[in-house]
C-alpha cells in the first residue's frame, strides 16, 4: 500500500460535486421509489437513506428488484414514482451522464476495442480533463488496483480478476460521489472472491467513498457491508446491520433467507416475566425470551440458528435452578453432514420434529463426534431463540 491515496478534497473536480451534503444529512435519499414493467411492480415503494461513506448492500433473491433499484440510481431506468435525492438534489429523471454516480457492471462491460489505459481514461476524456492530468489520474488508478504493467493490454488479454480490477478502476477514476456495484464478484471463483472482498472493503475505507453493492450472496453482503437492505418482491423487507439481520430477523422469510434456521410453529401458552412459553407441535413447549416489542398472543414461530443448538450425550448439569430456563430436547442423530470446520447434525426429535445443530469441530480426532442413530440431548437457552410472527 505504498501508493499515494487520492484525497477526498479533490473529489469534486470531475463531477462538479457542489451537491455534497451537509454533515448529518444522508448522501442519498430514496423516497417512495416505484418502477413498473407492464403490470409487474419491479420496485414497489422503496424508501432508504444512505449516509456518506457507507458500504451498503442490497440483498435479495433474483427478481426481487434490487438490480432495478440500482439501475434507477445509475439512471438507466427512470422511476415511475418517488424521488431520488443526491445531496438534496432530485436526480430521479436525470440521464446517466448527468449524475456524479458511477457503476461497476456485473460483467464489467469493458470496452473490448480499448486498452486498459484507455478504458480507465474513457470517463476522464468525456469530462474534458487535460491530457497530463488524465495520465496522472490513470497511473494513480492503475496503482490503486495493482495493475501496473498491464496498461497496454486489451480486455481479452486479461484474466477475470484483472478485468474486475479494470472495471473498478474505470468506475473510480471519475471520483464519483457514489459507486454502484452490480454483483461485482459473481464472475470470480471462491478464493479470488474472498480476497477481492477484503480489497474492496479496504479500498472503500481508504477512499472514504460511498458504495452500494447489489448481491444475491448473503455471505458477501454480510462480509462487506456495514448495513444491508434485504429486498423481497420489490419492497425492502428489513434494513439492518449484518448482525441484527442475522440475530434479529424481522420476519420468518428473512430468517429463512439469511443463513440456516430451525423454525417451530406454535402458540403462546404461558407468560412468566420476561419469559414466554410457546407450545410447538414439533418440539413441545419451548421457553423463549420475550422480544423488545411485546408480542401479544396468537400463532408464532420459534426460530433458532443451528450453531446456537448444543448437543450432548446426557442432559447438561447446570447450576441449580437454571435448568428450568433451558430448552432440552431428546432425539436421535438422523443425518450427519461433515463440512470440515463444522459438522451439521440433523436430530430427529422424540417430539416429532427435526432440528439442525451445527457443531464446531474443535478437535482433530473424532472423539466428540456423534454417530448415526445415537441418542443425544439438544439444548439451547431462551435468549438464543427468536420469536417471529407466523
Partner 1 sequence: MRKVSRLSRFNIASLALGLAFLYLPILILVLYSFNASRLVTVWGGWSLRWYREFFKDRAMIEAAWMSLRVAVSSATIATLLGTLAAVALSRGERFRGRTLFSGMLYAPLVMPEVITGLSLLLLFVALNAERGFWTVTIAHTTLTMCFVAVVVQSRLGSLDRSLEEAAMDLGCNPVRAFMAVTLPLIAPAIVAGWMLAFTLSLDDLVIASFTTGPGSATLPIRIYSEVRLGVKPEINAICTLVIALIAVVIVIASLASKLSSSQGESAAPL
Q: Where are the beta strands (DSSP E) in 72-126?
A: 81-86, 89-90, 101-104
CB-facing half-sphere around the CA of 168: CA atoms within 13 A: 27
Which of 40, 76 has the CB closer to partner 1?
76
DSSP run (H or E) holding 207: helix 190-207
Whole-number minimum distance, CB 75 to partner 1, in Å? 8
Per CB under 8 A, contacts with partner 1 among 337-366 are none
Site size for partner 1, by CB under 8 A? 27
Residues 151-170 interacting with partner 1 (rule: CB under 8 A): 154-156, 170
Nearest alpha-carbon partner for 263 in 243, 273, 249? 249
110 close to 170: Cβ distance less than 8 angstroms: yes
Which residue, 56 or 108, has its beta carbon nearer to partner 1?
Answer: 108
Considering beta carbons, is residue 75 or 284 the nearer one to partner 1? 75
Q: For the purposes of burial, counting CB atoms within 10 Å of the CB of 345, is it exposed (0-12), middle (13-18) or buried (19 or more)?
A: buried
Using CB under 8 A, pick the residue from 97, 292, 314, 364 that binds partner 1.
Answer: 97
Angle (CA) 21 24 27, round 5°: 40
CB of 264 to partner 1, least distance (A): 45
**Binder among 16, 76, 318, 323 for partner 1 (CB under 8 A):** 76
Cβ at position 20, least distance to partner 1 in Å: 19
Show the beta-strand stretches assigned E in the chain: 28-37, 40-50, 55-59, 81-86, 89-90, 101-104, 178-182, 210-215, 227-232, 235-240, 262-272, 275-280, 284-289, 299-304, 310-312, 327-338, 342-349, 354-360, 375-380, 385-389
Query: Among the candidate windows 107-115, 196-204, 227-235, 247-255, which touches partner 1 by CB under 8 A?
Result: 107-115
The smaller minimum CB distance to partner 1, of residues 122 and 253, is found at 122
Q: How far is the CB of 146 from partner 1 (least distance, A)?
A: 22
Instruction: Give the binding range for partner 1 (CB under 8 A) out of 68-76, 85-93, 140-148, 312-320.
Output: 68-76
Dihedral-angle region of residue 313 (phi above 0 means left; psi in -120 to 50 means alpha; beta otherwise)? alpha
Least separation in angstroms between residue 250's CB and partner 1 is: 34
| CA 384/CA 381 separation, integer angstroms | 5
- When asked if residue 39 is in the footprint of partner 1 (CB under 8 A), the reply is no
201 backbone dihedrals φ, ψ, rounded to 5°: -65, -45
The residue among 112 and 294 lying less far from partner 1, judged by its C-beta, is: 112
C-alpha–C-alpha distance, residues 290 and 316, integer Å: 24
Stretch that binds partner 1, among 89-97, 198-206, 246-254, 302-310 (CB under 8 A): 89-97
Give residue for cell 425492502: 236
Q: Toward partner 1, which CB reaches closer, 182 or 384?
A: 182
User: Can residue 243 be called a binding residue for partner 1 (CB under 8 A)?
Assistant: no
Which residue in the set 10, 78, 95, 270 belongs to the binding site for partner 1 (CB under 8 A)?
Answer: 95
Q: CB of 182: closest distance to partner 1 in angstroms? A: 9
3 state SS of 190: helix
Nearer to partner 1, 36 or 154 (CB): 154
| CA–CA separation, 291 and 383 (whole Å) | 10
List binders of partner 1 among 109-138 (CB under 8 A). Answer: 109-113, 122-123, 126-127
Total residue count of the chain as it appears in this document: 390
Total Cβ atoms within 10 A of residue 20 = 17
106 is a contact residue toward partner 1 (CB under 8 A)? yes
**Residue closer to partner 1, measured from CB, 27 or 74:** 74
Nearest distance in Å: CB 167, partner 1:
9
Among 11, 102, 164, 327, binds partner 1 (CB under 8 A): 102
Range in contact with partner 1 (rule: CB under 8 A) among 81-89, 92-100, 272-280, 376-384: 92-100
Whole-angstrom distance, CA of residue 93 vs CA of residue 84 = 9
Contact 99, 86 (CB under 8 A): yes
Interface residues with partner 1 (CB under 8 A) are 74-76, 95-97, 101-103, 105-107, 109-113, 122-123, 126-127, 154-156, 170-171, 174
Amino acid at each position: 500500500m505504498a501508493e499515494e491515496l487520492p484525497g477526498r478534497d479533490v473529489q469534486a473536480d470531475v463531477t462538479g460535486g457542489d451537491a455534497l451534503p451537509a454533515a448529518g444529512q444522508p448522501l442519498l435519499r430514496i423516497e417512495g421509489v416505484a418502477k413498473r414493467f407492464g403490470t409487474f411492480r419491479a420496485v414497489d415503494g422503496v424508501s432508504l437513506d444512505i449516509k456518506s461513506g457507507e458500504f451498503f448492500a442490497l440483498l435479495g433473491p433474483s427478481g426481487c428488484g434490487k438490480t432495478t433499484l440500482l439501475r434507477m440510481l445509475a439512471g438507466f431506468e427512470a422511476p415511475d414514482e418517488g424521488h431520488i435525492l443526491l445531496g438534496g438534489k432530485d436526480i430521479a429523471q436525470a440521464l446517466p451522464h448527468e449524475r456524479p454516480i458511477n457503476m461497476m457492471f456485473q460483467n464489467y462491460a469493458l470496452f473490448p476495442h480499448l486498452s486498459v489505459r484507455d478504458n480507465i481514461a474513457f470517463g476522464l476524456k468525456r469530462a474534458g480533463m487535460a491530457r497530463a492530468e488524465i495520465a496522472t489520474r490513470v497511473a494513480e488508478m492503475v496503482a490503486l488496483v495493482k495493475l501496473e504493467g498491464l496498461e497496454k493490454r486489451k480486455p481479452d488479454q486479461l484474466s477475470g480478476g484483472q478485468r474486475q480490477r479494470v472495471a473498478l478502476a474505470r468506475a473510480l477514476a471519475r471520483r464519483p460521489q457514489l459507486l454502484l456495484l452490480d454483483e461485482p464478484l459473481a464472475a470470480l471463483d471462491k478464493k479470488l472472491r474472498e480476497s477481492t472482498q477484503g480489497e474492496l472493503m479496504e479500498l472503500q475505507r481508504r477512499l472514504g467513498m460511498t458504495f452500494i453493492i447489489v448481491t444475491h450472496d448473503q455471505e458477501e453482503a454480510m462480509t462487506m457491508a456495514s448495513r444491508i437492505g434485504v429486498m423481497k418482491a420489490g419492497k425492502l423487507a428489513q434494513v439492518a446491520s449484518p448482525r441484527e439481520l442475522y440475530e434479529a430477523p424481522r420476519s420468518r422469510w428473512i430468517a429463512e433467507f439469511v443463513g440456516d434456521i430451525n423454525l417451530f410453529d406454535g402458540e403462546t401458552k404461558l407468560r412468566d416475566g420476561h419469559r414466554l412459553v410457546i407450545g410447538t407441535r414439533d418440539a413441545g413447549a419451548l421457553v423463549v425470551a420475550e422480544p423488545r416489542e411485546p408480542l401479544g398472543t396468537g400463532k408464532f414461530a420459534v426460530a433458532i440458528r443451528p450453531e446456537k443448538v448444543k448437543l450432548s450425550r446426557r442432559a447438561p448439569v447446570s447450576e441449580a435452578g437454571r435448568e428450568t430456563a433451558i430448552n432440552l430436547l431428546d432425539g436421535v442423530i438422523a443425518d450427519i453432514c461433515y463440512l470440515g470446520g463444522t459438522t451439521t447434525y440433523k436430530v430427529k426429535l422424540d417430539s416429532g420434529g427435526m432440528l439442525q445443530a451445527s457443531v464446531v469441530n474443535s478437535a482433530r480426532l473424532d472423539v466428540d463426534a456423534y454417530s448415526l442413530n445415537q441418542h443425544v440431548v439438544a439444548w439451547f437457552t431462551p435468549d438464543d431463540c427468536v420469536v417471529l410472527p407466523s
